[in-house]
Amino acid sequence: MKAHTLGESLILPVCKKIVKTMLGNEAAKQMNKIPLSNDTVHKRILEMPFSIEKNICSNKLQFSDFALETDESTDNASKAQFLTFIRFLDEDQIINQFLFCKELSANAKGEDISNILINYLCKWQISWKSCVGICIDGALSKVGCVKGLTSFVKKQNENVITHCFLHREALMTKTLGDKLKEVLNQAVEFVNYINTRPVRSRLFEQFFSITEQYAWIRNSFIEISDDASSTLTEEEELAVISTDSRLKIKYKESSLEKVWISIREEYQSISEKASHFTAIFNIIFI
């Protein structure tokens, strides 16, 4: 690794010449007070991760809902690492941020993984009540209903939404039985047939009515079915939003997350409910 002397050997002399030319010798001498030695820069680099971590955990996450995404990986030293990303609301935008990386023991069981995650949030006094979702892969240590990570997380907050993305599904298809493989092949052919022509895709969309419970999150300007979980205040706010021409223009020009964040002061109840779902990781990208 190269020594951190670039600032002291190159940048500082150039800055001194500029200051000397513009302001004189006395001002240039003041530049010598800037600490840019190798040890000082190295110390600051080591402090940067902790500063970022403290800012997120102590400030941002204390007053915001958040979602987690986890995965394990093996480094070049053949050591298992547990990685966690976090997604949270920060003022007028949703932030995707790396949270931590911890080395796993020899047995990376669901209990071991959950203890790392739970202890980390307890260390920073982050409430599990603010966790709206967790995204995982298809590993047994994650999805197990008794000793998997999700089961331990549900004990902390039973309202957490868990999303499993099976990124090894392609390997699974190679070991399918003949009957299941035939069904899968027919489904693939069916989808490919529809996607080859735009006309077929448009006609296919008309065959089924939209009955998803939370379709209003993606588009608040369509006619929606009754949602039993919605309060009267939420229904009234959604009705006003659906007729707002200003928001229709913003909906076409901005991302879905930005639209809901921009109206959280004006329509507090419905935007808060929508934010729970827009904050959740929808795929695993690690």
Q: Residue 267 forms beta bridges with which residues? A: none
User: For residue range 151-171, what is the model confidence (pLDDT) as tens digits?
Assistant: 888 888 888 877 655 545 555
DSSP state of 138: S
User: For residue range 212-263, what is the model confidence (pLDDT) as tens digits?
Assistant: 555 656 666 555 545 556 777 888 888 888 888 888 887 778 777 788 888 8
Q: How far apart are CA 135 and CA 193, in angstroms?
A: 32
Which structure tokens are listed for 118? 């739970």
User: Span 51-170: which CATH code?
Assistant: 3.30.420.40
Which structure tokens are listed for 248? 């229709």
Domain ranges within the chain, ordered by starting residue: 3-36, 51-170, 183-285
* pTM, 2 dp: 0.58
User: Counting Cβ atoms within 10 Å, is residue 24 exposed (0-12), middle (13-18) or buried (19+)?
Assistant: exposed
pLDDT at 286: 43
User: For residue range 164-219, what is the model confidence (pLDDT) as tens digits?
Assistant: 555 455 556 666 777 887 888 888 888 888 878 777 777 776 665 544 555 656 66
| Closest to 82 in 3D by CA, of 51, 118, 124, 46 | 118
The predicted model gives 126-148 an average pLDDT of 75
